[in-house]
Amino acid sequence: MEQSASGRCECGGVSYTVVGPLRSVWNCHCHRCRRFTGHHMAATGSSSGMVRFTSDTTLTWYSPDPSVAYAFCSTCGSSLFWRAAARPDHLSICAGTLDQPTGLRTSSAWWMAEHGDYHTPEPNVNELVDEA
């Protein structure tokens, strides 16, 4: 049986299925991810071709510059995805939008030098400073 996962935004305007394995979760603390999610981004990822939308009527993409694009629901505001221009074949998925249980575990934390001063870094997570 092929591995799959599903997820959606809060209002259901965007729903998706990922066919195939997901990467372990990483937490990004860069200033952009903190502003996009309101905290650090906890994300997983898959090949773009493995993500299938069952509804995307409210999916909106925003690019602060040509290097990255973020996707959110224009109705409920849920942060959903991001894509780096350098890797157009890969889609990062905000882990909180996945239906439970995911079976995923956090493996790394990125851009720790930019973490919010209110946040205590996670123990037992590989810190990759300034690597995104």
Residue 22 sits in a domain whose CATH number is 2.170.150.70
Residue 35 structural domain? 4-115
The CA R_g of the chain, rounded to the nearest whole Å, is 14
Q: Is residue 132 part of a domain?
A: no
This prediction's pTM: 0.82
Among candidates 46, 52, 55, 38, which has minimal Cα distance to 22?
A: 46
* Counted domains in the chain: 1
- Residue 122 placed within a domain: no
- At residue 131 the predicted structure's pLDDT band, cuts being 50, 70 and 90, is very low
pLDDT at 123: 63
Which helix H or strand E contains 25, and what residues bound it?
strand 25-28
Note the pLDDT tens digit of each residue in 75-91.
999 999 999 999 999 99
Task: Find, among 90, 14, 92, 97, the residue nearest to 57 by Cα.
Answer: 14
* 5-26: average pLDDT: 93
Position 127 in a domain: no
Pairwise CA distance, residues 14 & 41, whole Å: 19
The verdict on residue 27 lying in a domain is yes
pLDDT tens profile 26-41: 777 777 877 777 677 7
**Between the CA of residue 61 and those of 13, 19, 65, 74, 78, what are the distances in Å?**
14, 22, 12, 9, 12
Q: Does residue 83 lie in a domain region?
A: yes
**Residue 42, class by beta-carbon neighbours within 10 Å (0-12 exposed, 13-18 middle, 19+ buried)?**
middle
Q: Is residue 123 part of a domain?
A: no
H or E element at residue 80: strand 79-84
pLDDT tens by residue, 69-125: 999 999 999 999 999 999 999 999 999 999 988 888 877 765 666 665 656 666 666
CB-CB contact of 116 with 72 (8 Å): no
Q: Is residue 131 part of a domain?
A: no
Residue 125 lies in a domain: no
